[in-house]
Structures are given as C-alpha cells and as structure tokens.
C-alpha cells in the first residue's frame, strides 16, 4: 500500500500533546514534531494541547483518528485511551490495559518475574519505616523510582541509607508507590518496537551516574550508539527478549523497551514505554533511521496502524 493512497484514507487526524503531566514540555516537543511530519506528508492533521475540554473538542472536531503524543499520566496510562475507546475514535499505540500496566513499573516487573524474564530484583517501599529492611534486602547501590512516572522524573541512584531516605522523599512527591530496584553494573540499551519488529538497538552512554532527566533532555554529553556495537547474534537475542517483554504487558503498535547488559553479558529488562519521545532527537526515530525509516515515514507508519 503506497503512502499516497493511505494519506487520504487517514482522514482528519488530531495530534494530542501537552496535557498536565510532569512530562508536559517533552510532550509538546513530540507533538509539534509529529504534527509537522504529518503535515509534510499531506495528512489533514491538527494539533491539540490537551486540557479538561478534550473530549468535547474531539467530538466537535469530527476527527477520524488520533495520534497520541502525550507522555506520562493522563496520556500514557490508559486514561485517554479509555476515553477515545468510549468515543469510538481509533488511536495510535497500546490499548487501555497495556498502557496502564506499562506505566506501572512495579506491576510490569511482577509480570516479567512471573514469566521468568530477567529483571533486576525489586521491592516496594511502603513507608519510611521500610527503608532499612529494603536496604538489607537489595543492598547498595540501588535505584529508587516513583512507580508511575516517566522521563526519569524522580529517580535516583543511592549508595547509603541517608541517600535512600532523601531519594524516597523525592520519589514520594510524584507517587505514593516507590520502587526500589537492585543496581545493574553494565551498559544501558533501548529497543524501539514498531509493529511486530524490534528495530536496531541503541546503546546509551552518559557521564552522569544515571540516564536521568538532565541526561535525556538537557545535557549535550549523552552519546547514542546506533549501531550499538553488539555482536549481531547477541543483538538479535536482546531484540527478541525486548519484543517478548513488550507483548507480555499487552503492548502493541509501537513503543520502547529499556534494558541493561551486565558485566557478564546478561540482559536485564527495566521498563516499557508505550508513548516514548518523538522529537528528532528521540530514541525511537534514531533507531528507525538506522533501519532506513525516516521520521516522516515513521509517524505515518504509526498512524497507519489505526486503519
């Protein structure tokens, strides 16, 4: 099917961006890039900064489909997906259940563990009284994360009980559920998923101790290696594992799976992103480019999945 026939089939498209989550700024960048790319492909696309009136705007606008470029709560957690399903408007990416599950790092890891997929040891911190016990259980260093936040917001690597206390208080500002995860020493990779395929892996390299919000969006010292430098056989194994991990939470369409490779060469699954960043600097477009797919082709391919 050529793009020419498909573009008219796509009809009137709403690109949802912004929203009220902690990742609002990143989402506005993603949405603008998507809107520009779709318009360049002659798609009848309209950008909407999502507010409380979003459902009436979608109904009044008579949109045929929606491209979700919302990150974080309200856009990536099944909320908007459920609303669009109720309105009967097709949308990009994963459905309600998979979106809600993937947003929840704790429950994603519980599913992986049940399937015996490799993911670092973890524990839920219920209160300050839990800290010493969890430190004993997992040992230092460890990662502390809000269970349901994206863009590495509120995460920290901790090396002592004092650092753990401070990191717990910070993470608590974003979520009542705080996840502690055993630290993996090694290299960080990400696998972009498009349809039924994992695209070329990217290896992330940052002088920061962790790939945090600053390393992602502000620093110009972060390096992205694609090709990732892994042996082809190993890369294919990692890609297969990423695809299995993605499907385990019911995710579909497109997204990203983050993983580590420890010093023994073993892969460890970290999390699933069902609406990863879509700016020209983002990881999924970088991986797609390595696979010979331009940014404009990528966003049209994602949108075509709603037909």
**Structural domain of residue 204, as residue ranges?**
102-117+186-302
* 191 and 65 in a common domain: no
Same domain, 144 and 204: no
Mark whether 108 and 232 lie in a shared domain.
yes
Annotated catalytic residue within 130, 163, 217, 262: 217
Residue 36: Cβ-neighbour burial (10 angstroms; 0-12, 13-18, 19+)? middle
Distances from the Cα of 300 to the Cα of 39, 198, 294, 297, angstroms: 10, 18, 10, 5
Residue 280 pLDDT more than 80? no
Residue 80 and residue 22 in one domain: yes
Note every long-range contact of 79-82, with CB atoms under 8 Å and residues 24 or more positions apart, other chains counting: 80/16, 80/50, 80/54
- pLDDT higher for 247 or 149? 247
> Which one of 154, 182, 210 terminates a domain?
182
Do residues 177 and 191 share a domain?
no
Question: Among this protein's residues, is 159 annotated catalytic?
Answer: no
Give the end of a domain, one of 182, 207, 229: 182
| Separation between Cα atoms, residue 18 and residue 14, nearest integer Å | 13
DSSP codes joined into one string, 171-186 = HHTT-S-EEEEE---E
Question: Could you say which of 99, 151, 282, 287 is catalytic?
Answer: 151
Q: Is 217 marked active-site?
A: yes
Q: Are residues 17 and 141 in the same domain?
A: no
- Indicate whether 110 and 234 sit together in one domain: yes
The tokens describing 106, both together, are: 């704790």
- Asked, for residue 40, whether it belongs to a domain, the answer is yes
Residues 113 and 204 in one domain: yes
* Residue environment code for 94-132, b if the CB has 16+ CB neighbours within 10 A, otherwise e: bbbebbbbbbbbbbbbebbeeeebbbbbbbebeeeebbe
Among 271, 282, 287, 296, the active-site one is 271
Task: Dump pLDDT digits (tens) for 33-72.
Answer: 999 999 999 999 999 999 999 999 999 999 999 999 999 8
Q: Give the active site residue among 258, 261, 282, 296.
A: 258
Structure confidence at residue 1 as a pLDDT band (50, 70, 90): very low
**Does 191 share its domain with 297?**
yes
Contact 238, 269 (CB under 8 A): no
* Number of domains into which the chain is organized: 3
Task: Tell me, yes or no, whether 202 and 106 share the same domain.
Answer: yes
Residue 285: inside a domain, yes or no?
yes
**What is the pLDDT of the chain when averaged over all its residues?**
92
* Residue 307, in any domain of the structure: no
- 289 and 214 part of one domain: yes
Q: Are residues 298 and 208 in the same domain?
A: yes
pLDDT digits (tens, 9 = 90+) for 69-119: 999 889 999 999 999 999 999 999 999 999 999 999 999 999 999 999 999
């Amino acid at each position: 099917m050529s793009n020419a026939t498909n573009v008219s089939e796509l009809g009137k498209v709403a690109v949802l961006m912004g929203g009220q989550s902690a990742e609002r700024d990143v989402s506005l960048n993603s949405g603008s890039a998507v809107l520009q790319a779709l318009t360049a492909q002659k798609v009848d696309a309209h950008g909407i900064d999502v507010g409380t009136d979003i459902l009436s705007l979608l109904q009044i606008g008579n949109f045929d489909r929606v491209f979700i470029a919302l990150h974080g709560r309200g856009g990536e957690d099944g909320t908007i997906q459920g609303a669009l399903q109720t309105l009967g408007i097709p949308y990009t990416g994963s459905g309600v259940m998979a979106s809600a599950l993937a947003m929840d790092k704790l429950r994603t890891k519980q599913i992986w563990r049940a399937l015996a997929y490799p993911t670092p040891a973890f524990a839920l911190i219920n209160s300050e009284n839990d800290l010493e016990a969890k430190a004993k259980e997992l040992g230092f260093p460890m990662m502390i994360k809000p269970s349901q936040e994206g863009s590495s917001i509120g995460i920290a690597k901790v090396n002592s009980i004092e650092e753990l206390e401070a990191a717990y208080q910070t993470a608590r500002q974003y979520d009542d559920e705080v996840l502690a995860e055993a630290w993996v020493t090694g290299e960080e990779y990400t696998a972009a998923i498009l349809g039924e395929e994992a695209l070329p892996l990217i290896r992330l390299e940052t002088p920061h101790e962790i790939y945090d919000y600053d390393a992602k969006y502000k620093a110009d010292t972060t390096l992205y290696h694609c090709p990732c430098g892994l042996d082809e056989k190993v890369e294919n194994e990692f890609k297969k594992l990423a695809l299995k991990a993605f499907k385990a939470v019911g995710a579909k369409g497109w997204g990203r799976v983050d993983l580590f490779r420890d010093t023994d060469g073993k892969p460890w699954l970290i999390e699933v992103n069902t609406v990863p960043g879509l700016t020209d600097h983002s990881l999924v477009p970088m991986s797609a480019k390595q696979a010979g797919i331009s940014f404009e082709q990528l966003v049209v391919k994602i949108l075509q999945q709603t037909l």
